[in-house]
Structure 1
Amino acid sequence: MRKDIEFRTEDGIVLRGWWYEGNGPGPRPGIVMAHGFSATKEMYLDDFAGLFHSRGFDVLVYDNRNLGESDAPVPGEIDPWQQVRDYRDAITWFSQQDDIDADRIGVWGSSYSGAHVLVVAALDRRVRCVVSQVPLVTGLENGRRLVRSDYWDGLRASFDADRQARLAGEAPAMIPVAFDKASDEPCALPTQDTHDFFFGPIQERATTWRNEVTLRSVELFTEYEPHVYIPRISPTPLLMVVATEDVLTPCDLAIASYENALEPKRLLLLRGGHFDAYVDEAFQISGPAQTQWFTDHLMK
Structure 2
Amino acid sequence: MPRRDIEFKTSDHVTLRGWLFTPEKGSSKLPCLIMSHGWTALKEMDLDTFAEYFTSKLTIACLVYDNRGFGASDAAPHAPRYEILPELQRSDYSDAITYAQSLEEVDGDKIGIWGSSYSGGHVLFVGAVDRRVKAVLSQVPLTDGWSNFHRLIRPDFVAGMESAFLADRAARAQGKDATMLPVVDADPTKPSSLPTPDSYEFFAAWEKNSDWKNEVTVKRQVLRTVELLRANDPSHMIHRISPTPLLMTIAQNDVLTPTDIALDAYTRAREPKQLHIIPGGHFDGYSGPNFEKNAGRQAQFLKETLCAGEEAALPLR
- Normalised by the shorter chain, which TM-score bucket? over 0.9
User: Partner residue of 1:212?
Assistant: 220
1:183 positional shift: 2.7
User: Partner residue of 1:26?
Assistant: 28
User: Partner residue of 2:42?
Assistant: 40
Distance 2:66 2:210 in 1: 11
User: Partner amino acid for 1:81?
Assistant: E
Q: Secondary structure at the match of 2:178?
A: coil
User: Partner amino acid for 1:111?
Assistant: S
1:85 aligns with 2:85: no
TM-score after normalising by structure 2: 0.92
Distance 2:209 2:204 in 1: 11
User: Partner amino acid for 2:210?
Assistant: A
1:56 aligns with 2:34: no
Distance 2:240 2:135 in 1: 13
Distance 1:118 1:209 in 2: 29
1:171 alignment partner, one of 165, 168, 177: 177
1:213 positional shift: 1.1
1:184 positional shift: 2.2
1:204 positional shift: 4.2
1:286 aligns with 2:286: no
1:52 positional shift: 1.1
Distance 1:169 1:226 in 2: 31
Structure 1: runs of 5+ lacking an equivalent: none
Distance 1:209 1:158 in 2: 23
User: Partner amino acid for 2:125?
Assistant: V
Distance 1:272 1:43 in 2: 19
Structure 2: runs of 5+ lacking an equivalent: 310-317
User: Partner residue of 2:313?
Assistant: none
Aligned length: 298
Q: Secondary structure at the match of 1:169?
A: coil
User: Partner residue of 1:277?
Assistant: 285
Say whether the 8 Å CA contact 1:27–1:99 is kept in structure 2: yes
1:145 alignment partner, one of 138, 143, 151: 151
What is the identity percentage for the equivalent residue pairs of Structure 1 and Structure 2?
Answer: 46
User: Partner residue of 2:233?
Assistant: 225
Deviation string 1:271-290 (CA, Å, 9 cap, x unpaired) is 10000011122211010110
TM-score after normalising by structure 1: 0.97
User: Partner amino acid for 1:65?
Assistant: R
Q: Secondary structure at the match of 1:254?
A: helix
1:10 positional shift: 1.1
Could you say if the C-alpha distance between residues 197 and 139 of structure 1 is closer, same or farther in structure 2, counting changes exceeding 3 Å?
Answer: same
User: Partner residue of 2:163?
Assistant: 157
Distance 2:184 2:128 in 1: 31
1:6 aligns with 2:11: no
